[in-house]
Structure 1
Amino acid sequence: MKATLYRYLFREISVPFLLGMTTFTSVLLMGRLLKLADMVVAKGVPFSDVLWMVVYLLPYFCLVTIPMAVLLAVLLAFGRLSADSEVTAMKACGISLYGLLPPVIAFALFAYIATTLVTLYGIPWGNTSFRRLVTSIAEERGAKALKEQVFIDDFPGLMLYLNRYSPQDQRITGILIQDDRNPAEPSTIFASSGVIFSDPATREIRLLLYNGGIHRPVGKTGYRLVEFQEYDLKINIPQATQEVLKNEMDMSLSELYANINSPRLDRKLRTDMELEVQRRFSLPFACFVFALIAIPLGIQNQRSGKGAGFSLSIGVLIVYYVILTAFKAMGERGMVTPLVAMWSPNLLFVAFGIYLFHQTAEERRLYLFTALAEAGRRIRHAFTTGRTP
């Protein structure tokens, strides 16, 4: 009988878990969609490359969305069971609230394993691959960014306008360049023609300009004109394409430990890496923490519906991540050790979850839901009678 019950509970949790994963991942992805869409429409980046960027971002999102989805799934599942009096029927059959824990803990264990794999292997792979892809795209677009009769601002400190551009022989005519790379000496360059050379080895684009002039202001009222028959202008590919050193989120666990044990590492960097190591184990453990809290909250929230359950889960998540952020800030400042900084939110929520679970097992109504029910009753009364509650 218990095996059947456990399978039933497992299925009840699985459906809202998938719904939560889809919803939370979509919400997080929405913040990146405008920027990704701009890369396709305005920058001409292939749609396939943008799809790969989304794939590389998914592990980072999953680190957050899996524990969030566990909380939502367990809360909605037990809210539905309680609303349909199935929890009461289970108690009548001699199954206490503690007897309902095994399938929930088993589900949280699967989520914990998935989140741990994501944080240990998925995130370093995704972040590194994302950086490499962005670098590759920017390098390929270095020379391709040149278009005729369009103001080009893809190069830091430079604005280019080319009246005619021939990609076949790399010749350009009717050239206007505003060079603000040195703010103390801005200059405007005109040239009748020129040739483009791209050097992938040095990551430079060279413009060999012919028959033109360089206009520079001198002081507040002065002006200088330098005419040339031939002028060589070098343009560095944007800084975003340069090889970026790995930060702690891009490193594997072995790389983090190797850097932490290095005597040459700066103290602040060592602290950041120690915090990252603890974070990679503490955030997956939040699956157990959220599952423990969600059971009593779902049962106590029985009559409020799925909308209220979703809002309640968001509220719990906000409180958890605010506390996590606060402790992380204390860890970065050296006020507490990285171990304490990353694990304190879990310990606080475990203690809170045990209290909620015990109160619910003893069939004691939580003050929060009593207050919400009373507020709802007063509001309904006000709408019905037209009086102030």
Structure 2
Amino acid sequence: MKILDWYILKRYLLTFLMMLLLFIPIGITVNLAEKIGKILEREVPFGAVAQYYLDFTIYFANLLYPIFLFISVIWFTSKLANNTEIVAFLSSGVSFWRFLRPYMIGATIIASFALIMGLYLAPNASKGFNEFKYKYLKRHVSVTQTTNIYRQINDNDYIYVSSYNPVTKRGINFTLEHFEGNELSYKISASSIIDNDSTYRLINYAKRTFGPVNDIIEKASRKDVDFEFDTDDLTPEDYIAETLQYGELVKFIEKEKRRGSSNIGRYEVVKHKKWSLPASVFILTIIAVSVSSIKRRGGMGVNLAFGITIAMVFVFFDKVFGVMAAQSSFSPIVAVWLPNAVFGLLAIYLLFNAKR
């Protein structure tokens, strides 16, 4: 039986690798054709472009590897079925469960690689990919203002800004409240706050220190103040969670929860997907084998069409629920794992149907 295991496992891994080597250069070519005008116009250094496409390769592979895996399993399993090899395997006394074992070994190898990539490699690639994009390709694109920012910046201080523009680094209607225990010690307010790198400039500055008898009020039309926070930290980019390794991401989410961030759902989705995507490897492998192990009248084309449809539906639900969790109160863990649960049930149904 080792010959059968190695035969299927080798074709599993080699076909998956072939799909990566086939589609990634196509993705790079399409992306380069779209971006080449801006790259030449802005005289981007060759080294930066080369690093960008190295990061793009890892980013692209991590994003679409479930589809590559699904298509590759359907491809070579359909060839086995069309060549009547599966019938020969099963006729020799091999059970369908035993026939499935090398597929599960291959899925374990791919899932382990996907887990390592998602936890460690993809975050670094995503950081380089996004930094290049915003530095060279989107530097003239206006950034939407962030509104109603409320943060706890440490154990005692809370700030509020009604709107903040990351381009001009200017916030409107700024307030800082400092507490000692449960009592408000002082409050600083200003009509606007401007980040001057080393200090913050407050316009129409006012500070009210609360005393046991009388309050102390200080005012100035303009005042430079040192604060223990960074506006880039207060208004992180939407893609920030994608650039953090797992341990850093967990700490970042806890910090943002203490600050009252409105983007917790988006960050939680990224965290849970690092585990759900490797798990989807087993589900998609079972579905692909179940669909393509039967010899059909239409041949490999029918299996590929049916399999690609299922893969696209899986990706569609994964994206829809991810957006729902990021932009509403929908539970991130439910949003991430629900497609796996639904398609897991489908995998069980198709597997028992194929076994019969």
Contact 1:83–1:303 (CA<8 Å) still a contact in 2? Answer: no
Q: Map Cα deviations across residues 76-134 of structure 1 (whole Å, 9 max, x no partner).
A: 22211111111111111111211111110111111111111111111211122334556
> Structure 1 residue 360 and structure 2 residue 338: aligned?
no
Distance change (3 Å), C-alpha of 1:335 and 1:97: farther
Q: 1:275 and 2:273 equivalent?
A: no
Taking structure 1 as reference, are residues 345 and 156 closer, same or farther at Cα in structure 2, changes over 3 Å only? closer
Q: Is the 8 A contact 1:70 1:108 kept in 2?
A: no
TM-score normalised by length of structure 1:
0.61
User: Match of 1:122?
Assistant: 121
Distance in 2 (CA, whole Å) between partners of 1:80 and 1:62 is 25
8 Å CA contact 2:290, 2:351 repeated in 1: yes
Question: Per-residue displacement from partner, 1:267-304 (whole Å, max 9, x unpaired)?
Answer: 42222211111111111211111101001111235443
Contiguous gaps of at least 5 residues in structure 2: 143-195, 198-234
Instruction: Give percent identity, aligned residues only.
Output: 21
Q: Quote the residue 1:18 is aligned against.
A: 17
In structure 2, relative to structure 1, the CA distance for the partners of 1:337 and 1:155 (3 Å cut) is: closer
The corresponding residue for 1:254 is 247
Distance between the aligned counterparts of 2:22 and 2:136, measured in 1?
30
Q: Which position in structure 2 is the counterpart of 1:54?
A: 53
Counterparts of residues 87-236 of structure 1 (less than 5 Å): 87-133=86-132
What's the counterpart of residue 78 of structure 2? 79
Distance in 2 separating the partners of 1:307 and 1:314: 10
CA distance in 2, matches of 1:280, 1:28: 23
* Equivalent in the alignment of 2:66: 67
Equivalent residues of 1:115, 1:284 under 8 A apart: yes
Tell me, yes or no, if the aligned pair for 1:63 and 1:119 is still in contact at 8 Å.
Answer: yes
Contact map agreement 2:287 2:346 (CA 8 A) in 1:
yes
Counterpart Cα distance in 2 of 1:44 and 1:301: 54
* Structure 2 equivalent of residue 318 of structure 1: 312
Q: If you compute each CA radius of gyration, which structure gives the higher value, 1 or 2?
A: 1
**Equivalent residue for 2:36?**
37
- The equivalent residue for 1:145 is none
Matched residues in 1 for 2:271 and 2:96: separation? 35
Cα 1:96–1:36 shift into 2, 3 Å: same
Shift of 1:326: 2.4
Structure 1 residues 312-369: Cα deviation after superposition (integer angstroms, max 9, x where no partner):
332122100111122223323545421111011011111101111101110xxxxxxx
**Contact 1:56 1:126 survives alignment (8 Å):** yes
Match of 1:344 among 338, 343, 346: 338
TM-fit CA distance, 1:15: 3.1
The code of the aligned residue for 1:60 comes to Y
For 1:333 and 1:48, locate their aligned partners in 2 and report how far apart those are by CA, in whole Å.
37
Deviation at 1:244, TM superposition (A): 7.2
State how far apart, in whole Å, the 2-side matches of 1:131 and 1:346 are: 28
Q: Aligned AA for 2:253?
A: I
**Partner residue of 2:294?**
300
SS class of match (2:53): helix
Q: For 2:316, what is the secondary structure of its paired residue?
A: helix
- How far does residue 3 in structure 1 lie from its aligned partner after superposition? 0.8
- Would the aligned equivalents of 2:82 and 2:300 in 1 still touch at CA under 8 Å? no
Structure 1 residues 232-267: Cα deviation after superposition (integer angstroms, max 9, x where no partner):
xxxxxxxxxxx9756111122122211222243334
CA contact (8 A) 1:62 1:118 kept: no
Tell whether the 8 Å contact from 1:301 to 1:309 is kept in structure 2 after alignment. no
Q: Answer whether contact 1:62 1:115 (CA < 8 A) is retained.
A: no
Q: CA deviation at 1:29?
A: 3.1
Letter of the 2:107 partner, please give it: A
Give the secondary-structure state (helix, strand or coil) at the position aligned to 2:93: coil
Asked if 2 retains the 8 angstrom alpha-carbon contact of 1:275 and 1:331, the reply is yes
CA distance in structure 2 between the aligned counterparts of 1:294 and 1:78, rounded to whole angstroms: 8
Alignment of 1:367-382 (within 5 A): none
C-alpha contact (below 8 Å) 2:317/2:339 kept by paired residues? yes
- CA gap 1:20/1:305 in 2 versus in 1, 3 angstroms: farther
Report the CA distance shift for 1:294/1:319 in structure 2 as closer, same or farther (over 3 A). Answer: same
Go from structure 1 to structure 2 and tell me whether the alpha carbon gap of 1:79 and 1:260 turns closer, same or farther (over 3 Å shift).
same
Could you tell me how far 1:11 is from its partner in structure 2? Answer: 2.0
Cα RMSD of the aligned pairs, angstroms, is 2.9
Letter in 2 for 1:88: V
User: Is the CA contact (8 Å cut-off) linking 2:266 and 2:327 kept in structure 1?
Assistant: no
